[in-house]
Amino acid sequence: MGEAPVFLRGVEIRPGYLDRAAQEEMVEDIRDVARAAPLFSPETRFGKKMSVQMTSAGTYGWYSDRRGYRYERRHPSGVDWPPIPASVLAVWHAVTGVERAPDCCLVNFYREGARMGLHQDRDEADFGWPVLSISLGDSALFRIGSVERGGKTESVWLNSGDVCVIGGEARLVHHGIDRIRAGSSTLLADGGRINLTLRVVD
């Protein structure tokens, strides 16, 4: 499906892995997730509200406030996170080849102007498991650096339907989203970008 993979600093990008029909189905499934567990804007541990809105599906959801970054068993409203949609799990198994199901599907929603600063994903217990990311909607300028802070970085646009697999050496590299190209996709009626990130947590 889609074009040949592209490798950027150990991150494997599968351009156009999901066709339009698969993207539309997945958006409907994510709308159901967000109905059960509404999007919210977490505070960083420095007390600043993030510009990205989030929610999760699965056993754990990612959460942040002044106490720090962590996984929680429940949405801030107190409800359990809804199950990870089958359409999303199918992509995880097909692309990673891993038998174990992910514990968390983090849903990131970017409106125009939202961004995510360079960071590492290190709230999980075992960095041996891969991470999988699915992009839906407007294109995003993705920046990737190195494991060490302050190294050189390279950028690439992630487009709707692209899937990234992060494993091995790349698992602890710094990465972030610099900006969203508003109006670049017709997938979401009101615009914006959804990113799904699947992880094994414990």
Q: Which of 131, 187, 200, 201 binds ligand MD3 (CB under 6 A)?
A: 131
In the complex with ligand MD3, which residue's Cβ is closer, 78 or 161? 161
One character per residue 52-91, x = contact with ligand MD3 (rule: CB under 6 A): ----------------------------------------
Q: Is 108 in the site for ligand MD3 (CB under 6 A)?
A: yes
Q: Is 143 in the site for ligand MD3 (CB under 6 A)?
A: no
Q: Is 170 in the site for ligand MD3 (CB under 6 A)?
A: yes
Task: Provide the 8-state DSSP code for 168.
Answer: G
Q: Is 124 in the site for Fe ion (CB under 5 A)?
A: no
CA angle 169, 108, 125 (to 5 degrees): 40
DSSP string of 92-135, one letter each residue: HHHHH--SSPPSEEEEEEE-TT--EEEE----SS-TTS-EEEEE
DSSP string of 2-68, one letter each residue: -S--EEETTEEEETT-S-HHHHHHHHHHHHHHHHHS--B-PBPTTSPBPSSEEEEEES-EEEEETTE
In the complex with ligand MD3, which residue's Cβ is closer, 88 or 164? 164
Q: From 22-30, 38-46, 101-109, 119-127, give the range in contact with Fe ion by CB under 5 A.
A: 119-127
Asked whether the beta carbons of 164 and 11 are under 8 A apart, the reply is: yes
Please state the closest distance from residue 20 (CB atom) to Fe ion, in A: 26
Closest among 58, 85, 87, 84 to 71, alpha carbons compared? 58
Q: Which of 12, 103, 121, 124 binds Fe ion (CB under 5 A)?
A: 121
- Binding residues for ligand MD3, rule: CB under 6 A, are 11, 106, 108, 116, 121, 131, 133, 140, 164, 166, 170-171, 173, 175, 177, 195, 197
